Structure 1
Amino acid sequence: MASGSDSKIFRKIYLGIIIFIAISLPLSKSTMTQGMALLLALWIWSDFQISVALRFFKQKGLFTGTFLLVKYFYVLAKESIIEKTTLFFRNKPAVVFASIYLMGWLGLLFTGNFPKATDVLRIKFPLLLFPLVFASLDPVNKKEFRTIMLFYVAALFAGTIIGTAKMISGNFVDVRQFSPFISPVRFGLNITFGIFGLLYFLAKDTSFRFWQKGIMSFLVLWFVWFLVKMESVTSLSLLVIILLGMLFWQGMRSKKRVVKFTTVFLLVAIPLGLVFYLKNEIYQMTHVKASACIFIPKKTVLGHPYVFDTVHYGIEDGRYVGAWLCLPELKQAWNERSTFSFDGKDKNGNPIAITLIRYLTSKNLKKDAAGVSKLSQKDIQNIENGIANSCYVNHPGLHSRLLVMVKGWQVYQKTGKAGGSSILQRYEYLRAAFQVIRKNFWTGTGTGDLFDALGHEYIRLNAGLENYVGFLAHNQYVDTFAAYGIFGFLWFLFALVYPPVKTKSFHDYFFVVFYLIMLGSMLSDDTLETHAGVTLFSFFLSLLMFGKEKSNAVQSG
């Protein structure tokens, strides 16, 4: 056992490493890995005593002392691994939770692509590491957990500042670049959990002063604004759904009728309001106002005739894309301003002509020489980069996101190709995955073969997913069923439910909101198939179930 002073040092280092990992979750995949390596080293040599190590050199000299130090490290590692592994195996919920990782090893029995299977097991190692460590070391107390969360929120804020700087600079072609370090989906999930953490500190934690809560209130609004600008549909949806669930839970527990009535009213009004907003937005995007067609000039400023095509080009953001179109002028004017040929393709592989026409439409410019002359050099670069609507980069947000969805749906209706919309892509991913499940119902494809099996189905479906071979189903539950079969899928569900029930973690506010965020995210994303996703999932769930004092539990009810 470590001495008292060494034990205090160990405790500080342990907390420091946990904070280091928490900070890394939204900011750096490489430091996530480094943090896990430090945590594993600390777990192995937690009983190390500096006084013992120094005694070797004082009594035996440099050469013999070095030899004894190496032996000391070996003995400590051996004893520590045996002792802590024993503690881990006595913790049945932790073992069951870690078995999600062990499923990957069993899946090797049915895989043929061992290099890919090895890569999957490497990525998912946090599923074993965090429950193993947190279940066999002393849990953090309430004050320590608060410190962890505050550093985590600070890291989130730093990440959003960097993303906002990217946004303000205008030097981006996709809102996904607002998350420069990890996937924007994972970044959004981190921010969502940070928002709920701040809401707890604002409503329940009395240790903060008024001005500190003022800063936290600002951060909540800032994070919500950033999610909107980053077009994080998944994160915003989870935020609204969980908040409505919390409203329902608290409202129904009240004994006052007026509170219950208000709760029911809000639970009905808010979803209806969102539906009305979406319906109105989509209508405005897909219909042209009658006033827009009252005056239609027949010729350009240069005297060439316009084409007013309301059929072939369709409607985008309430405007006819084929209105006021003069292709000869457009071609000449474009070729004078860009090295990308009018008859060629943009960087996304789409015809430059179509991208240019749509871009001019989005800026409410006529598709002629005069319209091209009004484009800035930045506009020209945007078109060359394949940005077909100025709103995508000049006004990122929910309206822009909805424009992409509507356009993707229009293309899908005409061509059956889903490449233009992430939602339609997910639909086709699921179609392919269900075919894989049908063919591998009992045993699954195995740990490494899922990518190949899905890629084959993407090509076979001919739905425009040929460029997405290597992508999974964007649904963790379906991915698990396809990879490990019906029995693996059922065990996966059991491993998600049994540990929190057994550890009574559903009484912990932080656990409940994070658990719901993770389970919800897995409906639309491969959360456990990426380094950032699986680390986020396993770190906080393991910490909240096994690495945090139960006296620190915050009643969610």
Structure 2
Amino acid sequence: MRAQGKHIKISSILTHLYFWALVLMIISIPLSRFMMSVAQFTLSGIMILEFMSLENVRKFIGRYPFYILIFIIIPAAIYWTYESLVQIFKKFLRKENLPAIVFLSLFILHLIGLLFTVDFDYALKDLRVKLPLFVLPIVLTVSKPLNRRQFHSLMLFFVGAVLAGTLISTYILFTQDINNLREISIFISHIRFSLLIGIAIFTLAYFATGQAGYGRLLRMLFLVLIAWFCLYMVVSASITGIVVLFIALFVIAVHYTLKKRNLYSRMATVILLLAPVIIMVFIMGIVTDVYKMNKVDFSGLDKQTEQGTLYWHDTTNLQTENGHFVWIYVATDELREA
């Protein structure tokens, strides 16, 4: 009974460690590549321990004196890890896991590609980037699935991390001299960040419904966060994220429209769908015009006008109008005469 109690306690500890490692991973997606890697290795270690017979390990350690364990513990640990990996892959390689196996095969294709590459430095870097394709399908399918409450908590941590990323980017936008809006996304690519914002928006949209089981105040907070994320995407001119967001909204709207049998309900849904799309396209056109910059070779600017008046070029001022730099080709004398 005591051994069984210890086993249950260790299993409970590993379950909690697994959840918090997932939290570390999901908040690292928009904020830290390094911590993302740390979380993946942590999850892998927890998974190996979960399938390892810890009771046999305890008995093995208690069987030998310390001076002998120093020499045999490493080979024994390698053997225990091997046994654990065998059990993991036995559980993973099942028909029910076919989608996860497909994801894993993408990583295997990259491994096979090493046979044909001449740039091993780039190949190894690419494998490191693609490592989640190997680790996550195995970890998420063989470990104990999260319950509803844990999953909601995990997604709220993700939303919080995305919110932190948008606040930091907004602070950079208003406090630093930015030449390109892409520079405000300091943690990951601005395109990837905009896609993560889209995921956060849909997550909050679900949580804002009554089905998720949250109170009225929390649902109102979720709606405020949705509005903030949408505003951020417009201000940061995240074209890719906005396009993907509207494509997803369109697919969802079509799905629910086809479910409705009433013709007027279908027409109303289509109108409600098209109205924000048209408005957003109009707004994005304005935003694009504001931030558009035509390429100019500052070293080849004309020195004087046709009348011989010297031009004044302020190449440090990046203010534009319809994509044209305002403070180049300025001839003040001719402007006064005009």
Task: Give the structure 2 partner of residue 498 of structure 1.
Answer: none
State the one-letter code of the partner of 1:42.
I
Task: Give the structure 1 partner of residue 206 of structure 2.
Answer: 200
User: Quick one: distance in 1 between partners of 2:289 and 2:165?
Assistant: 36
Task: Give the structure 2 partner of residue 5 of structure 1.
Answer: 9
State the one-letter code of the partner of 2:199.
F
Task: Give the structure 1 partner of residue 263 of structure 2.
Answer: 257
Task: Give the structure 1 partner of residue 80 of structure 2.
Answer: 76
1:240 and 2:238 aligned: no
Contact in 2 for aligned 1:47/1:76 (Cα 8 Å): no
Task: Give the structure 2 partner of residue 158 of structure 1.
Answer: 164
Task: Give the structure 2 partner of residue 213 of structure 1.
Answer: 219
**What aligned pairs does 1:298-309 form with structure 2 within 5 A after superposition?**
none
User: Quick one: distance in 2 between partners of 1:254 and 1:37?
Assistant: 47
Q: For 1:196, what is the secondary structure of its paired residue?
A: helix
Task: Give the structure 1 partner of residue 310 of structure 2.
Answer: 328
User: Quick one: distance in 1 between partners of 2:89 and 2:238?
Assistant: 40
Select the residue among 135, 140, 144 that pairs with 2:146. 140
Q: Provide the TM-score with structure 1 as the length reference.
A: 0.50
Contact in 1 for aligned 2:208/2:219 (Cα 8 Å): yes
1:30 and 2:29 aligned: no
Distance 1:239 1:210, change over 3 A: same
Contact in 2 for aligned 1:57/1:64 (Cα 8 Å): no
Contact in 1 for aligned 2:291/2:323 (Cα 8 Å): no
Contact in 2 for aligned 1:53/1:69 (Cα 8 Å): no
Cα deviations by residue, 1:444-490 (Å, 9 ceiling, x for unpaired):
xxxxxxxxxxxxxxxxxxxxxxxxxxxxxxxxxxxxxxxxxxxxxxx
Identical positions, percent? 25
Distance 1:85 1:48, change over 3 A: closer
State the one-letter code of the partner of 2:113.
G
Contact in 2 for aligned 1:44/1:76 (Cα 8 Å): no
**What aligned pairs does 1:289-304 form with structure 2 within 5 A after superposition?**
none
Task: Give the structure 2 partner of residue 340 of structure 1.
Answer: none
Contact in 1 for aligned 2:30/2:188 (Cα 8 Å): yes
Deviation at 1:59, TM superposition (A): 6.6
User: Quick one: distance in 1 between partners of 2:285 and 2:53?
Assistant: 66
1:128 and 2:91 aligned: no
Deviation at 1:240, TM superposition (A): 1.4
Deviation at 1:214, TM superposition (A): 1.8
Contact in 1 for aligned 2:25/2:40 (Cα 8 Å): yes
State the one-letter code of the partner of 2:190.
P
State the one-letter code of the partner of 1:34.
V
Contact in 2 for aligned 1:45/1:76 (Cα 8 Å): no
Moved more, 99-108 or 185-194: 99-108
User: Quick one: distance in 2 between partners of 1:15 and 1:122?
Assistant: 23
Distance 1:116 1:368, change over 3 A: same
Q: For 2:93, what is the secondary structure of its paired residue?
A: helix
Task: Give the structure 2 partner of residue 175 of structure 1.
Answer: 181
Select the residue among 112, 117, 122 that pairs with 1:116. 122
Structure 1: any 5+ residue segments left out of the alignment?
287-312, 314-321, 335-351, 371-557
1:16 and 2:38 aligned: no
**What aligned pairs does 1:499-514 form with structure 2 within 5 A after superposition?**
none
Q: For 2:145, what is the secondary structure of its paired residue?
A: coil
Cα deviations by residue, 1:208-255 (Å, 9 ceiling, x for unpaired):
121111221111111111111221100011111211221222122123
Cα deviations by residue, 1:481-502 (Å, 9 ceiling, x for unpaired):
xxxxxxxxxxxxxxxxxxxxxx
Cα deviations by residue, 1:407-443 (Å, 9 ceiling, x for unpaired):
xxxxxxxxxxxxxxxxxxxxxxxxxxxxxxxxxxxxx
User: Quick one: distance in 1 between partners of 2:318 and 2:309?
Assistant: 13
Cα deviations by residue, 1:167-198 (Å, 9 ceiling, x for unpaired):
12133222122211111111111111011000
Cα deviations by residue, 1:29-63 (Å, 9 ceiling, x for unpaired):
00011111111111222245777767767775543
User: Quick one: distance in 2 between partners of 1:285 and 1:35?
Assistant: 38
User: Quick one: distance in 2 between partners of 1:220 and 1:208?
Assistant: 16
State the one-letter code of the partner of 1:77.
T
Contact in 1 for aligned 2:21/2:42 (Cα 8 Å): yes
Q: For 1:231, what is the secondary structure of its paired residue?
A: coil
Contact in 2 for aligned 1:88/1:136 (Cα 8 Å): yes
Deviation at 1:357, TM superposition (A): 9.1
Q: For 1:255, what is the secondary structure of its paired residue?
A: coil
Q: Provide the TM-score with structure 2 as the length reference.
A: 0.79
Structure 2: any 5+ residue segments left out of the alignment?
297-303, 334-338
Task: Give the structure 2 partner of residue 505 of structure 1.
Answer: none
Q: State how many pairs are aligned.
A: 318
Deviation at 1:362, TM superposition (A): 5.6
User: Quick one: distance in 2 between partners of 1:267 and 1:209?
Assistant: 28
User: Quick one: distance in 1 between partners of 2:258 and 2:242?
Assistant: 24
Distance 1:18 1:279, change over 3 A: closer
Q: Which has the higher contact order (CA 8 A, sep 6+)?
A: 1
Contact in 2 for aligned 1:176/1:184 (Cα 8 Å): yes
